[in-house]
Amino acid sequence: MKIAILVGTRPEIIKMAPVIRECQKRKLDYLIIHSKQHYSEKLDGIFFSELDLPPPKYNLNVGSGGHANQTGRILIALEPILMSEKPDVLLVQGDTNTVVAGALAANKLHIKVGHVEAGLRSFDQTMPEESNRIIADHISDYRFAVTDLQVDYLKKEGIPESKIFKVGNTIVDALLSHRGRAEKTSQILSALKLQTKGYYLFTSHRAANVDDPDALKEIIQLIAKIPGQVCWPIHYRTQKVLKENKIDLPGNLTWTDPVGYSDFLNMLSNCAAVITDSGGVQEEACILGVPCVTIRDSTERPETVAVGANVLVHRNAEAMVAALNRPITPWTNPFGDGHTAERILNIVMDQSVQPVAQTQD
Ligand code: UD1
Ligand code: UDP
């Protein structure tokens, strides 16, 4: 059996890393294809080197662009590769333009598609990620759901139970395997003069929060209201709008370019709380026991809210400050046990797999 693994952006590289390592461990016939939706060293190459990943066999070099442009170019560049490589399955992860293009290209060629992190729903149709998730789920052959919630969503959308596999989230595998190294190697706290539990970590790159300069100004005003030092590794999408609109940053903010996985995990593990609109950061905070405040109206990770790890506050400063001051009761990580990549490969390698109820436990 031949397995093709498609990645395109920072979170896809991080969350596919455990699957790639498991392919290596089992000496499987696999190849990595990179759309290069992310191409800047700090959103791309740094993760390949830090996570000890082999270089992709193919780079599609699509880079940035509008949704149709980016998605279309990935489809066009991927088709001949899939035709010549003839993999038995293409694995895609998450909800980016790379994912929807990859799933569609493979589906049209009757190559099986495995969607890792299937069934997430924010129910906010204005998010580009929401349509990507829904389309990828509906044209996949294996939906690798994280928790019972995604299994239920997928079943309600008419997907047969035999095609849904509850496996957990590979982010737990990635985080557990990298955490020790991050603690040993990262010098980021001293480099940025951050004291353990003496700062808040901040991240924002969602289109709805940063593309419109007025929305981004509201985000910046939120930072000024955070009671203490704030550290923000700023995504290039956000940096561009800040620069183009000459938006001033508040005095309590220490900012940097995006950082690698070791530095980010170290910053997240040691902060007092994280304020974010990232999907992956909501999960990681929940897994690490770090209180999270999400500056959005909706989340496709409601498990984090249900366990008390996360509060949604839109761009409302009063609600954000109240959420930062909330009493915290320890919670249990709902995203799995760190063996998700193993389960995914067991299922892909075994064509006669059992339905959902028998997979995870
Ligand atoms: C993409 C995903 C988003 C995911 C995020 C992870 C879609 C629709 N969006 O958003 O779901 O949360 O990745 O970080 O697929 N840029 C660079 N260097 C790069 C890449 C981008 O400078 O290597 C800048 C460019 O100005 C570009 C902008 O960031 O126009 C946005 O990049 P893009 O890939 O379109 O979307 P992301 O915001 O990264
Ligand atoms: N991350 C990182 N460096 C940073 C910011 C985030 O390594 O400067 C990691 C973070 O640990 C998480 C992932 O990137 O695993 C989240 O990516 P992002 O927020 O870009 O995308 P999303 O999860 O929202 O799709």
Range of the domain at 33: 2-169+336-358
Task: Report the pLDDT value the prediction gives residue 358, as an integer from 0 to 100.
Answer: 46
Task: Report the pLDDT value the prediction gives residue 143, as an integer from 0 to 100.
Answer: 98
| Ligand 2 cavity residues, CB under 6 Å | 10-11, 14, 203, 205, 233, 258-259, 261, 264, 278-281, 284
Percent of the chain scored above 70 by pLDDT?
97
Task: Report the pLDDT value the prediction gives residue 359, as an integer from 0 to 100.
Answer: 52
Q: How far apart are CA 334 and CA 202, in angstroms?
A: 23
Q: How far apart are CA 354 and CA 198, in angstroms?
A: 48
> Within this chain, do residues 38 and 134 fall inside the same structural domain, yes or no?
yes
Task: Report the pLDDT value the prediction gives residue 355, as an integer from 0 to 100.
Answer: 46
Residue with CA at minimum distance from ligand 1 atom 25 = 237
> Within this chain, do residues 317 and 267 fall inside the same structural domain, yes or no?
yes
Residue with CA at minimum distance from ligand 1 atom 26 = 237
> Within this chain, do residues 305 and 347 fall inside the same structural domain, yes or no?
no
Question: Ligand 2: which of 15, 99, 188, 264 to mutate, judged by most atoms within 8 Å of the beta carbon?
Answer: 264
Total domain count for the chain? 2
Q: How far apart are CA 338 and CA 180, in angstroms?
A: 14
- Please provide the average confidence, as pLDDT, over all residues in the chain: 96
| Residue 36: band (very low, low, confident or very high) from pLDDT cuts 50, 70, 90 | very high
Look at residue 17 and tell me whether its pLDDT is greater than 70.
yes
Q: What is the CATH number of the domain that holds 219?
A: 3.40.50.2000
Look at residue 356 and tell me whether its pLDDT is greater than 80.
no
291: Cβ–Cβ under 8 A, 6 or more apart, which residues?
A: 272, 273, 274, 285, 309, 324, 326, 328
Look at residue 202 and tell me whether its pLDDT is greater than 60.
yes
**Tens digits of residue pLDDT in 88-143:** 999 999 999 999 999 999 999 999 999 999 999 999 999 999 999 999 999 999 99
> Within this chain, do residues 80 and 56 fall inside the same structural domain, yes or no?
yes
Task: Report the pLDDT value the prediction gives residue 63, as an integer from 0 to 100.
Answer: 98
**Tens digits of residue pLDDT in 207-222:** 999 999 999 999 999 9
Question: Ligand 2: which of 278, 290, 304 to mutate, judged by most atoms within 8 Å of the beta carbon?
Answer: 278
Q: What residues are annotated to the active site?
A: 205
Taking the CA of residue 260 as reference, the ligand 2 atom at the shortest distance is: 7
Tell me the average pLDDT across 157-165: 97
Look at residue 25 and tell me whether its pLDDT is greater than 90.
yes
**Tens digits of residue pLDDT in 335-354:** 999 999 999 999 999 864 44
| Residue 9, ligand 1, Cβ within 6 A | yes
Look at residue 6 and tell me whether its pLDDT is greater than 60.
yes
State the complex-level ipTM.
Answer: 0.99
> Within this chain, do residues 320 and 194 fall inside the same structural domain, yes or no?
yes
Answer whether residue 175 is part of any domain: no
Distances (CA, A) of 19 to 15, 158, 188: 8, 28, 28
Task: Report the pLDDT value the prediction gives residue 357, as an integer from 0 to 100.
Answer: 46
Task: Report the pLDDT value the prediction gives residue 95, as an integer from 0 to 100.
Answer: 98
Annotate 21-60 with b (16+ C-beta within 10 A) or e (fewer): bbbeeeeeebbbbbbbbbbeebbbebbbebbebeebebeb
| Residue 331, ligand 1, Cβ within 6 A | no
Q: Is residue 113 within 8 Å of 38, Cβ to Cβ? A: no
> Within this chain, do residues 274 and 345 fall inside the same structural domain, yes or no?
no
Answer whether residue 331 is part of any domain: no
